[in-house]
Chains A and B, each alone.
Chain A
């Protein structure tokens, strides 16, 4: 080396920018991670969207127990295409009913005036439907006249379908998963690789490190959210009724909250197994209870106070209110307050507990 030491410059580099960039690069250079974050939610939307697409009840399977009157029942039902009626023995009919291959069993009485006996399982929606429809058809055939005149208009507007319910839930779920994995898992991985320790040995500001983790997380979010919403719009016509600004605000708030939770989960864990276990422990109750695939109102009243305290419940409810009902942010203040409280508490706790080595 020359006597003259190498040129030293005071050129300022932007540590927060470099840290954010490093995280972004690490992510986009990992094809598997990109798939799980961006591809997986789309697959879910496609799969669930197809499975639960709204369709008119096309066929009502009805069994008619064999008897001299069976033929006239069959003729009455044959007037409507939606009935799939067949005449079977009474044993066969019971068996079909038990195994769900028929929705309703009709047995005609042998008296002068038509009498019918319906057998069905009242807890099965399609059986209840079949009973109403078959009864209506048979009563009309027996001469009943409608007293009031009704007009039917078919309604299938976006907003009220299952897919419209599902998309905000999936958005919330993906914000939760992304936050916990993207922040928690990555942080523990850096601790295991002693990279956190190496950073600690430099004059790096800790706020820059945490800022980099947050900023990169928020940047991953943009394509993640756009892909999901645009796909849902193009493939299923899911529209957002509320303001885009309100939706954006909720998404950012949710991302920050779950990043805080991710940081808290990662604050002490020293192995990937430990952090995976912790993350599942945190996420599992919310997957089940927070209304991703079905409304959380279905759980018993006693559990509601607990369910309502979960951050994902608040996020999903607020997202649904804004996206489906066009509600204003002001109307979602309790949910927003709860999410903000989660964010503050988890960040403060995480910073207190955080171990660099």
Chain B
């Protein structure tokens, strides 16, 4: 069975002064039936990448195969078999939900009945409501329904939950999980690490137009060397640097410091914590805060990119 998506050495350069390279040599192989996430900060090149895969942008160079087919040779065939939700589409506000869905259904050779499709995104009750009257979450669910109405094998979702409130996000996650369990392939982009962790079988972390890490969320987190993070802040400045002493503690794989804030990647917090306390007591340093938590994809990104996901992108 062919891959759902394969792309090699994808490059997209926008002409201008100076020219901007949004994607610089990106490689991806997405299996059929998996939910794959492109995770990265704003401006990392996620949307450019997904729009090239969707056939909406032409790459400057590189190879793209979607469902074993190539853009430019089998466009209509690919479009019949994929479903797309763009980051920002304002559907006609004057049409009703059902009318909108019928319109999209009419473009495809096969697909579910529009009403059934509405049921899948829990919008049956809004079938006759004008699109303009829907809430943000309902509009986004309608956008997903429009992507599903052609019975796609492959679904592209660009930032599906950006700007939604927490309960709308959870509702959308539920829909995406159901779509995935029906055997469809999903490629989604997000800059929410929790979203990628909960939904995706595999994640590619993208920064500056390149994949900087690839794997299951679990694998990526494990690559930190410890699945736990201990964070603390001190009331005093230690008389001598404590970094080396911290790194020397057993089961600590990494030490990071930002101002008076330390964070340790740790495999076994129950071993580290008593030793850490003792060390601070010896130096007569008081703790102002101490937390331990599970490591997240955010920590992976911070380790690899040297900054947080929601930081402003650093020019390369």
Contact = CB atoms under 8 A, between A and B. Distances in A.
B90 A22 contact: no
A14 B56 contact: no
Contact of B108 (A6, A7, A197, A202): A202
Contact of A6 (B90, B112, B130, B150): B112
Contacts, number: 94
B181 interface: yes
B273 interface: no
A205 to B, nearest CB: 8
B104 interface: yes
A204 B89 contact: no
Interface stretch (A25-33, A177-185, A334-342): A25-33
Interface hub of B92, B107, B117, B179 (most chain A Cβ within 10 A): B107
B106 interface: yes
A22 B107 contact: no
A10 B110 contact: yes
B110 A25 contact: no
A283 B130 CA distance: 34
Contacts of A203: 76, 79-80, 107-109, 150
A57 B294 CA distance: 96
User: A interface, by DSSP: helix, strand, loop or mixed?
Assistant: loop
B243 interface: no
B151 interface: yes
A193 B151 contact: no
Size bracket of the A interface:
20 to 34
A197 B99 contact: no
Given A1-B178, A5-B183, A6-B120, A26 B95 contact: yes
Contacts of B112: 6-9
Interface string A13-37: 1110111011001100110000000
B89 A195 contact: yes
A206 to B, nearest CB: 11
Contacts of B67: none
A175 to B, nearest CB: 24
A132 to B, nearest CB: 61
A201 B54 contact: yes
Contacts of A26: 92, 94-95
A194 B86 contact: yes
Contacts of B99: 21-22, 25
Interface of A: 1, 5-15, 17-19, 21-22, 25-26, 29-30, 193-195, 197-204, 357
